[in-house]
Amino acid sequence: MVIELSSQDKAFVLGHMRGMLEALTDTQQLLLDGDREALKARITQLQSREQDERPQGMGKRLPTAFRVMAQSMRPHWQAIGDPETPETDVRRHVVDLMRVCNACHQTFAIR
Ligand code: HEC
Share of the chain above pLDDT 70, in %: 100
Please indicate whether residue 67, judged by its CB atom, sits closer than 6 Å to ligand 1. Answer: no
- pLDDT per residue as tens digits for the range 29-65: 999 999 999 999 999 999 999 999 999 999 999 999 9
HSE of 21, CA atoms in CB hemisphere, 13 A: 6
Residue 38 CA to ligand 1 centre (angstroms): 25
Q: What are the domain boundaries of the chain?
A: 2-110
Nearest alpha-carbon partner for 100 in 86, 84, 85, 80? 80
Task: Specify the pLDDT at position 62.
Answer: 96
Q: Using an 8 Å Cβ cutoff, are 77 and 97 in contact?
A: yes
- Predicted TM-score (pTM) of the model is 0.97
Mutate which of 73, 100, 101 to test ligand 1's pocket (most atoms within 8 Å of Cβ)? 101
Residue 67 CA to ligand 1 centre (angstroms): 13
